[in-house]
Amino acid sequence: MSLFEEKHQFAEIILPVPVPKTFCYFISPAWDLEVVVGQRVLVEFGNRKVYTGIIAEIHQKRPEEYDPKPILELLEDTPSVTPDQIKLWKWVAEYYMCTIGDVMNIALPSGLKLSSQSFIQLHPDFSIDDNLEMLTDREFTFLKLLEKEQTIPYTNVASILELKNPYKAVKDLIAKQAILLIEKIKEKYKPKMEKRIRLHQSLVDNTALLDGVFDIIAKKAKQEDALLKYLSMVPVYEDPMTNYHGVSKSEFIKENKPLSASSVGTMTKNGIFEEFERQVPRFELSIADKMMPTPELSEAQNECLQKVVTGLNEKGTCLLHGVTGSGKTEIYLQLIQNVIENGSQALFLIPEIALTSQLVRRLKVYFGDVLGIYHSKFSDNERVETWKGVQEGDYQVIVGTRASLFLPFSDLELIVVDEEHDSSYKAQDKAPRYQGRDVALVLAHLHHAKVILGSATPSLESFYLAVKKKYAYAPLTERYGGAQLPEVKIVDIKRMRKQRKMKDEFSDDLLQAVHETTEEGYQAILFQNRRGYSPYVSCETCGWVPECPSCAVNLTYHIYKNELRCHYCGYKEHVPKTCVNCGSTHLQTVGVGTQKIEESLKTYLTDLRVGRMDLDSTRRKHSYEQILTDFEQGHLDVLVGTQMITKGLDFGNVRVVGILDADRLLHFPDFRAHERAFQLLTQVSGRAGRRGKEGTVILQTSTPDETLFAKVARHDYANFYRKEIQERQQYHYPPFTRLIRLTVRSEKQDLTRESAEWLAQRLTHWIGANRILGPQEPVINKIRNYFLSEILIKLERENYDLKKAKSLIQHAVNNLREEKPFKRVWVSIDVDPA
State in angstroms the smallest separation of the CB of 417 from ligand ATP: 13
The SS3 assignment for 243 reads helix
The reply to whether 327 sits near ligand ATP by the rule CB under 6 A is: yes
Site string for ligand ATP, 478-517 (x = CB under 6 A): --x-------------------------------------
The reply to whether 456 sits near ligand ATP by the rule CB under 6 A is: yes
Site string for Zn ion, 550-569 (x = CB under 5 A): -x--------------x-xx
The reply to whether 326 sits near ligand ATP by the rule CB under 6 A is: yes
Max Cα-Cα span within the chain: 102
Looking at the Cβ atoms of 455 and 755, the one nearer to ligand ATP is 455
Q: Report CA-CA distances (Å) from 277 to 197, 249, 272, 274, 394.
A: 8, 10, 17, 10, 18
State in angstroms the smallest separation of the CB of 428 from ligand ATP: 24
- Rounded to 10°, the helix 83-95/100-107 angle is 120
Question: How many residues make contact with ligand ATP (CB under 6 A)?
Answer: 20
Q: Print the SS3 string covering 288-326.
A: HHHCCCCCCCCHHHHHHHHHHHHHHHHHCEEEEEECCCC
**Which range, of 327-335, 371-379, 387-395, 502-510, touches ligand ATP by CB under 6 A?**
327-335
How far apart CA 107 and CA 799 sit, in angstroms, is: 33
The SS3 assignment for 572 reads strand
CB 26 within 8 A of CB 72: no
Q: Phi, psi at residue 490, to the nearest 5°?
A: -90, 125
- Rounded to 10°, the helix 460-467/717-730 angle is 90
How far apart CA 91 and CA 18 sit, in angstroms, is: 16
Q: What is the DSSP letter of 435?
A: B
Q: Interface residues for ligand ATP in 95-154 (CB under 6 A)?
A: none
Q: Interface residues for ligand ATP in 684-703 (CB under 6 A)?
A: 686, 690-691
The SS3 assignment for 503 reads strand
> Which partner, Zn ion, ligand ATP, none, binds residue 404 by CB below 5 to 8 Å per kind?
none
State in angstroms the smallest separation of the CB of 565 from Zn ion: 9
The reply to whether 571 sits near Zn ion by the rule CB under 5 A is: yes
The reply to whether 330 sits near ligand ATP by the rule CB under 6 A is: yes
> Which partner, ligand ATP, Zn ion, none, binds residue 330 by CB below 5 to 8 Å per kind?
ligand ATP
State in angstroms the smallest separation of the CB of 833 from Zn ion: 16
By CB under 6 A, name the one of 198, 328, 388, 715 that touches ligand ATP. Answer: 328
The reply to whether 598 sits near ligand ATP by the rule CB under 6 A is: no
- On whether 24 is known to bind a ligand per the annotation, the reply is no
- On whether 548 is known to bind a ligand per the annotation, the reply is yes
Beta partners for residue 826, in sequence order = 745
Pairing of β 737-746 and β 786-796: antiparallel
The SS3 assignment for 38 reads coil
The reply to whether 329 sits near ligand ATP by the rule CB under 6 A is: yes
Pairing of β 786-796 and β 151-153: unpaired
Site string for ligand ATP, 274-303 (x = CB under 6 A): ---------------------xxxx--x--
The reply to whether 548 sits near Zn ion by the rule CB under 5 A is: yes
> Which partner, ligand ATP, Zn ion, none, binds residue 566 by CB below 5 to 8 Å per kind?
Zn ion
* Residue closest to ligand ATP, measured at CB: 327
The reply to whether 682 sits near ligand ATP by the rule CB under 6 A is: no
Q: Phi, psi at residue 118, to the nearest 5°?
A: -80, 140
State in angstroms the smallest separation of the CB of 784 from Zn ion: 27
> Which partner, ligand ATP, Zn ion, none, binds residue 548 by CB below 5 to 8 Å per kind?
Zn ion
> Which partner, Zn ion, ligand ATP, none, binds residue 295 by CB below 5 to 8 Å per kind?
ligand ATP
State in angstroms the smallest separation of the CB of 395 from Zn ion: 48
Number of neighbours of residue 282 by Cβ within 10 angstroms = 17
Residues 6+ apart with CB under 8 A from 688: 486, 525, 654, 655, 656, 657, 695, 696, 697
CB 41 within 8 A of CB 71: yes
Q: What is the chain's alpha carbon radius of gyration, rounded to the nearest angstrom?
A: 32
State in angstroms the smallest separation of the CB of 373 from ligand ATP: 19
CB 415 within 8 A of CB 316: no
How far apart CA 18 and CA 99 sit, in angstroms, is: 6
> Which residue pairs from 249-254 have beta carbons closer than 8 angstroms and sit at least 24 positions apart in sequence?
249/194, 249/195, 249/196, 249/197, 249/275, 250/195, 252/197
How far apart CA 732 and CA 795 sit, in angstroms, is: 9
**Which range, of 217-225, 319-327, 620-628, 654-662, touches ligand ATP by CB under 6 A?**
319-327
How far apart CA 476 and CA 151 sit, in angstroms, is: 64
- On whether 98 is known to bind a ligand per the annotation, the reply is no
- On whether 304 is known to bind a ligand per the annotation, the reply is no
The binding site for Zn(2+) consists of: 539, 542, 548, 551, 566, 569, 579, 582
Under the rule (CB under 6 A), what is the footprint of ligand ATP? 295-298, 301, 322, 324-330, 456, 480, 648, 650, 686, 690-691
Under the rule (CB under 5 A), what is the footprint of Zn ion? 548, 551, 566, 568-569, 571
The binding site consists of: 539, 542, 548, 551, 566, 569, 579, 582
